[in-house]
Structure 1
């Protein structure tokens, strides 16, 4: 029978963490799911780790040819998914044991929802906590997708959280042409907004996932470029629908996105000192 949920993991050079990621998925309290992992031509032994799970009936292991950036692998696993509900988890993050159960229950309680998200805990490269609960910008419970999109812009940040925080209707993601990398540094946020605008969003105001903050991540190294792409994304939303955002909303979001880029640089230096 087709599983209700597809959990998909686009892996790339995650040999150090991928087993922890997969184990956090396989030990969920909710079990009506499939797990699809695709390795994007890793060079660090990621595939060797994945082969340990090849005999688990819930697990399907794929490969993605090199090239195409994040979108190539994120689309690869998402298009291969069979479930009504889709959850992407990056290959160095984890989800809490009740994550799937709580997010599926939110969809069942709110049929108008196309996306369910939760807060996350931030950890360092060694898994030590940095921040216990972060995200959502004050959203809680059922909110319109338009309001959630506007809140993301005016916050100047991805309030939905990293992929491990989010579960969405697979059909809604397909409707926007799968993962949106028109602004590559915002591939997750832009896709969430595209999905959210098709219905409602449920915000679970406690953490259900961890996000590993790594001083070497491109989102830290290239923070200024990310802020520039955020500004372009905000403007593209207003250009597409002037009733969604005001010019003031865009200006506020752009300023906050720039401030967030400096905050990321601060986190980089703190982590470098912490790990030394």
Structure 2
């Protein structure tokens, strides 16, 4: 006899994320809201990810693993949507972390706001080691979020790993569309779901969003800016047309830019110092000197980091250093 359907289906596509996925799973299992299933689709990982997933699936019956050859993020997200049994679908990427009361707060909001079809939150942006950098200032209301979606805000108007939506809505729009590459598939999905009801972001950060050197932003997006510009324009033109709105004559594509590696290390290093994470700051300082050895700013960070006492840890995600 099949178990009763849970309230929430958590969907997590994974690909070669052995360095982070265990902590991500533990953060989900630590949720105060317990009525969920965790659906993890391994998109043909070639590292230790499958072994990590197998270990956790043996520990908790709410975890269901789907493994197959690599097909890409769009196919993975759509397979996960099809597998959902819950009323709500919560997205959580394999390197991002949900705070313990994320599901509890999002379910409560969606239950009390039937007009809302998709809910996100502000997020804590963290470095590769789990040290916080800053809290985002995401817009909160449907009107402001849709304005960003129809402009240059892109898919960042709602962070994917903070998103909980009504599963019925995700299926009604046909899920994600395979014609759009990485980044645009989220943007296009949001624009179509927004035609079914209201969006909102909760003001408190319910997700810790990880940035690291091997993230998709660096390895995919920056190599294919021209293609992404063309796709972004196509997505937006279609969305304006569906809404009966004129496409802005002055629209221009604003690409994401990533700082040089030494500069990024310095930004993360100073943020780690600010939050009292001295050991992390020292790692970034060494990286800054390695990639920017002739930059005075790199040596200033290194000197400052090694002058500070490393006796105590500062603010990190709960259980980040278990």
Q: Same fold (TM over 0.5)?
A: yes
Asked if the contact 1:176–1:195 (Cα under 8 Å) also holds between the matched residues in 2, the reply is: yes
Match in the other structure for 2:167: 170
Asked if the contact 2:126–2:210 (Cα under 8 Å) also holds between the matched residues in 1, the reply is: yes
Larger radius of gyration: 2
Q: Distance in 1 between matches of 2:217 and 2:40?
A: 23
Secondary structure of the residue aligned to 2:133 is strand
The 5-angstrom pairing of residues 1-276 of structure 1 reads: 1-55=4-58, 56-67=60-71, 69-131=72-134, 133-136=135-138, 138-140=139-141, 143=142, 148-185=145-182, 186-221=184-219, 222-223=221-222, 224-225=225-226, 226-243=228-245, 246-248=246-248, 251-252=250-251, 254-255=252-253, 257-258=254-255, 261=256, 264-266=257-259, 270-271=263-264, 275=284, 276=287
Q: Please give the TM-score of this superposition, normalised by the length of structure 1.
A: 0.86
- Give the structure, 1 or 2, with the largest relative contact order (CA under 8 Å, sep 6 or more): 1
Secondary structure of the residue aligned to 2:263 is helix
Secondary structure of the residue aligned to 1:203 is strand
Give deviations 1:127-172, integer Å, cap 9, x for gaps: 12222x2152x324xx36xx63233222433343332111001111
Give deviations 1:55-78, integer Å, cap 9, x for gaps: 3111111113223x1112112222
Deviation of 1:210 (Å): 1.3
Asked if the contact 2:115–2:198 (Cα under 8 Å) also holds between the matched residues in 1, the reply is: yes
Q: Distance in 2 between matches of 1:106 and 1:268?
A: 40
Asked if the contact 1:180–1:188 (Cα under 8 Å) also holds between the matched residues in 2, the reply is: no
User: Could you say what the CA RMSD is over the residues aligned between the two structures, in angstroms?
Assistant: 2.1
Range moving further from structure 2, 221-230 or 159-168 = 221-230
Asked if the contact 1:21–1:91 (Cα under 8 Å) also holds between the matched residues in 2, the reply is: yes
Q: Distance in 1 between matches of 2:171 and 2:128?
A: 33
Runs of 5+ in structure 2 lacking a partner?
269-283, 288-322
Q: Distance in 2 between matches of 1:100 and 1:235?
A: 34
* Residues paired across the two proteins, number: 260
Q: Distance in 2 between matches of 1:227 and 1:267?
A: 22
Q: Distance in 1 between matches of 2:51 and 2:258?
A: 34
Q: Please give the TM-score of this superposition, normalised by the length of structure 2.
A: 0.74
Q: Distance in 2 between matches of 1:16 and 1:7?
A: 20
Question: Quick check: which one's strand share is greater?
Answer: 1
Give deviations 1:14-45, integer Å, cap 9, x for gaps: 11100011001010011111111111110111
Q: Distance in 1 between matches of 2:98 and 2:263?
A: 25
Asked if the contact 1:149–1:197 (Cα under 8 Å) also holds between the matched residues in 2, the reply is: no
Asked if the contact 2:121–2:163 (Cα under 8 Å) also holds between the matched residues in 1, the reply is: yes
Q: Distance in 2 between matches of 1:188 and 1:231?
A: 14
Q: Distance in 2 between matches of 1:29 and 1:214?
A: 28
